[in-house]
Chains A and B, each alone.
Chain A
Amino acid sequence: MSRTARESADRARGRATVGPERAGGQPDGESAGEQAVEQAGPSTAPAEPVDRLPRRGLIWRLVATAAVLGVLATAQVVDTDDFWPLGSLSQYGAPKDVNGTIRSVYVEALFEGETQPRTLGLSAGSTGIQRGEIEGQLGRFIDDPSLLQQIADSYAELRPDRPQPEVLYLRRSVTQLENGRAVGEPTIETLAEWQVQP
């Protein structure tokens, strides 16, 4: 169906339907000249003149577009998160060996008056920092377990009414895969341990 025919059909139905030509929101790229004037306006109004960009406005926009795309492309090659939001788009991006391991970090706490450590839920609301964030700087915690004191401190401030931890354990469970299936029970590694300072 031609553009005009579809538009009159739309009008005849009395609805604000959208012709497929319009849906992209852009006039055809190859002919974004005067044609745009006719296409971009609403079907009921006469064609309106286009507000064009002055040359300077056009140039800085094109330069900015190229620069942002360039940084983003570089970040994929260098594979860095440091340029966020133009960093590497690496969420779930690393291929995982079907015969490898799945590792997951968590924190356990020995609470006052208890004999067995149990999991301390890591959330912004209770510890100020989340699992993914601890995993993102895991090396720091392993090198300097005293950083776990920050988690105890934030827990004391954010959850003052709960029992407080006396010892914190940074642990990792490791699940072995065989052909993409988990086999056996996960093994547990303790990466860091910290006696909480009151």
Chain B
Amino acid sequence: MTGGTTASHQSAASRPPAEASEPRGRASAVVRWFVAPVPRARLAVFRILLYAFLPLEILWIRASVVAHSYVPELYRPTWLARALHLPPLTPEVAIALRWGILALVVLAIAAVLAGRWQRTTGWLLAGAFWVWMLNSMGFGYVSHDHLAIMVAITVLPTAGRATLGDTRPSEAAGWALRSVQLAVVATYVGSAVLKILRAGSLWGWPTSAVFVWAITRRGSALIRWTLDYPWLLVIGQWGLFLLELASPVVLWLRGRWLYLMIGVFLFFHLMTYLSLGIHFLPTVVCWAAFLPLERLPFVRRFARR
């Protein structure tokens, strides 16, 4: 550990900046990268965005929790749900949990706007959402587009108080958003690594018939014509595979190159949604952690009030 500062930090904001001097060195720079400060307002906007997305999760994307309560014998909980001894839910409990999450979403967003109770509402919402999602994933299928959003809901309360008008840079806010960024990137690069491991070679997956398989099983009218051109689908597989492998560069890109890369990924998700009905929205929303959200015009207007 090299990057520690020794003085008390509770009053960091009130001290002259000169006191916040850092030890130099490569290890320190690496450590500091993980907690690179961002304005608290950015974290506040991301909190609102993520919390506002949760109703979509529980009412549409992973709405199946209430339905699952009718098939309790098919409950196959994953490791964490078993470790926590989470039982299958009854319809009454599932519906109560749904209302509870909706109420907590309102409270958590109100807490950001009011600048109070953010930690409490954030943790309560995170806990309730975890219970919901562990049930949703406990029936034989897990969705791989939820890595980043589960990281986000968990790390957001750790950054403490943050309001829309608070432009003070904070390392706690920086780490929370960096964690979400890392989880977004891991979603792609991890899946590329798994493809290599499963195929046992770099070219095994991209030269296989995965797209044919996917489109045959659930392709829409927009995409089924490609089944007559398997070579085209192989090109598509190479493109996707290389894009996933290259995804970590977004952690260091700036400006128009960053926006371009984000655009490429969002375009990919739009295409898979139109062709296969797979939208990856929980990951898409977490791409916002890469953006200077505090500069959105309505945030600035709100902050001035």
B168 contacts A49, C-beta separation under 8 Å: yes
B38 contacts A40, C-beta separation under 8 Å: yes
Chain B contacts for A91, CB-based, 8 A = 143-145, 191, 278
Chain A contacts for B190, CB-based, 8 A = 72-73, 76, 88-89
Chain B contacts for A20, CB-based, 8 A = 254-258
A33 contacts B32, C-beta separation under 8 Å: yes
B210 contacts A94, C-beta separation under 8 Å: yes
- Partner among B74, B195, B199, B231 whose Cβ is within 8 Å of the Cβ of A147: B74
Q: Which of A128-136, A161-169, A187-195 contacts B (4 or more CB under 8 A)?
A: A128-136
Given contacts A23-B254, A98-B209, contact A51 B9 (CB under 8 A): yes
B240: nearest chain-A partner, CB-CB? A92
Q: List 26 A-B contacts (CB under 8 A).
A: A22-B292, A26-B174, A33-B21, A40-B38, A50-B169, A51-B172, A53-B35, A55-B5, A58-B31, A59-B1, A69-B186, A72-B147, A76-B190, A79-B197, A85-B133, A89-B194, A90-B194, A95-B208, A96-B208, A124-B68, A128-B68, A128-B74, A129-B67, A133-B139, A150-B70, A150-B72
Q: How distant is the Cα of A65 from the Cα of B140 in the complex, in angstroms?
A: 28
Interface residues of A in 112-167 (CB under 8 A from B): 124-125, 127-130, 132-137, 140, 147, 150-151, 153-154, 157-158
**A-contact bits for B183-197, CB 8 A (1 contact / 0 none):** 000110011011101
> Interface size on B (CB < 8 Å)?
117
How far, in Å, is A95 (CB) from chain B's closest CB?
A: 4
B17 contacts A47, C-beta separation under 8 Å: yes
Q: Which 7 A-B pairs rank lowest in CB-CB distance, beginning with the nearest? A: A20-B255, A136-B140, A180-B230, A40-B169, A95-B208, A32-B32, A124-B64
**A-contact bits for B15-33, CB 8 A (1 contact / 0 none):** 1111011101000011111
How far, in Å, is B104 (CB) from chain A's closest CB?
A: 20
A60: nearest chain-B partner, CB-CB? B158
- Partner among B21, B179, B197 whose Cβ is within 8 Å of the Cβ of A77: B197
- Partner among B22, B150, B217, B259 whose Cβ is within 8 Å of the Cβ of A104: B217
B146 contacts A85, C-beta separation under 8 Å: yes
Interface size class of A (residues with CB under 8 A): 35 or more
Q: Is B47 an interface residue, CB under 8 A from the partner?
A: no
Q: Which of B76-84, B105-113, B117-125, B263-271 contacts A (4 or more CB under 8 A)?
A: B76-84
A20: nearest chain-B partner, CB-CB? B255
B140 contacts A137, C-beta separation under 8 Å: yes
How far, in Å, is A114 (CB) from chain B's closest CB?
A: 24
Chain A contacts for B178, CB-based, 8 A = 26
How many A-B contacts are there with CB distance less than 8 Å? Answer: 328
**Chain A residues engaging chain B, CB cutoff 8 angstroms:** 16, 18-27, 29-34, 36-37, 40-42, 45, 47-55, 57-59, 61-62, 65, 68-69, 72-73, 76-77, 79, 81-98, 100, 102, 104, 124-125, 127-130, 132-137, 140, 147, 150-151, 153-154, 157-158, 175, 177, 179-182
Interface residues of B in 202-235 (CB under 8 A from A): 204-205, 207-210, 212-214, 216-217, 227-228, 230-231, 233-234
Chain A contacts for B76, CB-based, 8 A = 136-137, 140
How far, in Å, is B265 (CB) from chain A's closest CB?
A: 15
Given contacts A26-B38, A29-B33, contact A42 B167 (CB under 8 A): yes
B4 contacts A65, C-beta separation under 8 Å: no
B33 contacts A32, C-beta separation under 8 Å: yes
Q: How distant is the Cα of A30 from the Cα of B137 in the complex, in angstroms?
A: 40
How far, in Å, is B165 (CB) from chain A's closest CB?
A: 11
- Partner among B179, B194, B207 whose Cβ is within 8 Å of the Cβ of A93: B194
Chain A contacts for B17, CB-based, 8 A = 34, 37, 47, 49-50
Which of A22, A91, A151 has the most B CB atoms < 10 Å from its CB?
A91
A153 contacts B70, C-beta separation under 8 Å: yes
Given contacts A26-B174, A57-B172, A180-B209, 14 further A-B contacts (CB under 8 A): A18-B295, A25-B38, A32-B33, A32-B35, A32-B36, A52-B171, A58-B4, A79-B197, A84-B78, A86-B147, A90-B191, A128-B71, A133-B74, A177-B212
Interface residues of B in 243-268 (CB under 8 A from A): 251-259
A153: nearest chain-B partner, CB-CB? B70
Q: How distant is the Cα of A90 from the Cα of B190 in the complex, in angstroms?
A: 9
How far, in Å, is B186 (CB) from chain A's closest CB?
A: 6
